[in-house]
Amino acid sequence: MTPIVLAVTECLCLAIAAPAVVGYVRWLKARLQGRRGADFLQPYRDLRKTFAKGMIIADTTSWIFHLTPCVVVASTVAAAALVPVISASQPGDQLGDLFALMALLILGTIFLALGGLDPGTAFGGMGSSREMTVAALTEPTLAIAILSLALTAGSTSLGTITNTLLTTPANAIGPGHALALAAFLIAMLAETGRLPVDNPATHLELTMIHEAMILEYSGPYLALLEWAAALKLTLLLTLASNLFVPWGIATSLSAGALALGLAAVLAKLALLATLLAVLETRVAKLRLFRVPELLAVSFTLALLAATSSFFTR
Amino acid sequence: MDALFSRLTMTGASAMLLLALVVMWRRHVPAYVTAFRTQSVVLAFVGAIVAWMGEVPELFLVAAIILGLKGWIVPRILAGMEARRPDDRGLRPLVNTEMSLLISGGLAVAAYELSRPLTEVVSLPTRSGLPIALALILVSLFIVVSRRQVIAQIVGFLMLENGVALLALLGAYGVPLVVELGVFLDVLLGVLVMQALVPGMEKTSAG
């Protein structure tokens, strides 16, 4: 019984904490840029406000437009259930492994692109086409980066990868691990629409990718999509911290270990979110035509990581 | 001890390979020269590691010469060439950046596959770095054939030389000192000769 409760709690924790992570990044960015910034609870207020509003839907839309927010949220929540958050040995592991996780993420991306195309506006189509250009390289990069860890661990189950790294920390020294981490972080920035690939803070038409796709959404649908985007960011940050630096995660189900695991994951999330805010303050957005080059770099890094871990096994 | 040795040399070798990939990604010639300089410093570091942990004291001398020659003198000559050259930032490589990177990744995989029999024969603790050295050689060769700026081609050639030196260090703890010194002289002479030939090469390759 306890493991099930734990799995549900972990998933809920991620879902509830997600807007706070986004709010924290926004607040820190504002501080770094010399503005006061809204506190980290602001995204919750935004969500409540957007949920309460009515919807205006274009006449040209089909059922895909209405299905998209549900599929995006459902796939992201399902992906969140697979990620080890507080404890490395959780029942979510039996539901699916690395490949299931990637499939769920790409399902959300594809539906988001379809939702952008459906109303037939120029912006939505442009955003979708850009998103597909980016996703074609980021999704395999994420998968191969995690796969290189899976090759070292000898299993594609996320919990087992974490556990193996905890028992044999020597695996973390060496090129494979560092390359995979670098590739994962670059792909994560692209996947979640952060700088230098996409700017989450602007609606300037020349630069936007994610915002362009959800331009036609309003009211509760918009709230769902924004919440799913926040959850995706939190999910990938958690995945990065727990797969690559798993120390502190609970390996047993005792109360003490779980409390320590919770504290550890919160600390790691705060650290990664801080790094993200600092990075977004320091770098400028890449020209759109240079984005595939950056993604090709991260893909090559992931490929090298996978081959090197394959041959030093 | 052996495990640490293996990890350290492998990390050094991977860093060298990554620095070769920098040439694919950056467009500025000064960035290429910096990448080559850093790569040579890392090569000297790997040499020193092999000298210390593999107990081959003469390699310390080799590492010092690498540091001085390839880490300082050659990059200075390259920087001088770059300063005298007309601006050619418009010159695009023959293969675009994304494709170059993907091809490099493919070359690395091929190098791993090709050097598998080699790593099974060699019993030194440094053997896991051999595929990376081979990958570095292949990627450098690709730089030479795919870049259009002459300096980028020279940097590719010098990186190829670094790759060969790395292969010798990891596969056999270095070649005899006399051979090594001969190679250094060759490199220096080669760069000096190329320095004289660059203006002519620029004219033919840019046309």
pLDDT digits (tens, 9 = 90+) for B59-104: 898 899 989 988 898 999 888 888 877 666 666 778 888 888 889 9
Chain centroid, CA B109 distance in Å: 18
Cα–Cα distance, A67 to A63 (Å, whole number): 6
CB atoms within 10 A of CB B1: 7
Q: Per the confidence metrics, is the pTM higher than 0.90?
A: no
Tell me what ipTM this predicted complex has: 0.76
Cα–Cα distance, A31 to A37 (Å, whole number): 6
The parent domain of residue B120 ranges over 2-206
pLDDT digits (tens, 9 = 90+) for B168-195: 888 888 888 888 888 888 888 888 888 8
Residue contact A312–B10, C-beta within 8 A: yes
pLDDT category at B29 given cuts 50, 70, 90 is: confident
Query: Residue A120: left (phi > 0), alpha (psi -120 to 50), or beta?
Result: left
Question: Nearest CB to B109: which of A301, A303, A312?
Answer: A303
Per-residue HEC secondary structure of chain B comes to CHHHHHHHHHHHHHHHHHHHHHHHHCCCHHHHHHHHHHHHHHHHHHHHHHHHHCCCCHHHHHHHHHHHHHHHHHHHHHHHHHHHCCCCCCCCCCCCHHHHHHHHHHHHHHHHHHCHHHHHHCCCCCHHHHHHHHHHHHHHHHHHHHCCCHHHHHHHHHHHHHHHHHHHHHHHCCCCHHHHHHHHHHHHHHHHHHHHHHHHHHHHHHC
Total count of domains within chain B: 1
Task: Identify the contact set of chain B against chain A, taking CB-CB distances under 8 A.
Answer: 3, 7, 10-11, 13-15, 17-18, 21, 25, 97-98, 101-102, 104-105, 108-109, 112, 116, 119, 128, 131-132
Dihedral over Cα of A252, A253, A254, A258: its sign: positive
Per-domain boundaries in chain A: 2-50+61-311
Residue contact A296–B10, C-beta within 8 A: no
Question: Nearest CB to B98: which of A175, A292, A301?
Answer: A292
Q: Distance from A35 to chain B by nearest Cα, in Å? A: 34
Q: How far is CA B179 from CA A18, A192, A238, B183, in A?
A: 61, 53, 53, 6
Using an 8 Å CB-CB cutoff, list chain A residues near B119.
311
- What pLDDT shows up at residue B172? 84
Whether the predicted pLDDT of A312 surpasses 70 = no
Residue contact A299–B10, C-beta within 8 A: no
Using an 8 Å CB-CB cutoff, list chain B residues near A140.
none
Residue contact A296–B98, C-beta within 8 A: yes
Q: Distance from A171 to chain B by nearest Cα, in Å? A: 10
Token code pair at residue B25: 């990604």
- What pLDDT shows up at residue B57? 86
Residue contact A299–B101, C-beta within 8 A: yes
Token code pair at residue A77: 């929540």
Dihedral over Cα of A22, A23, A28, A31: its sign: positive
CA-based nearest residue in chain A for residue B16: A175
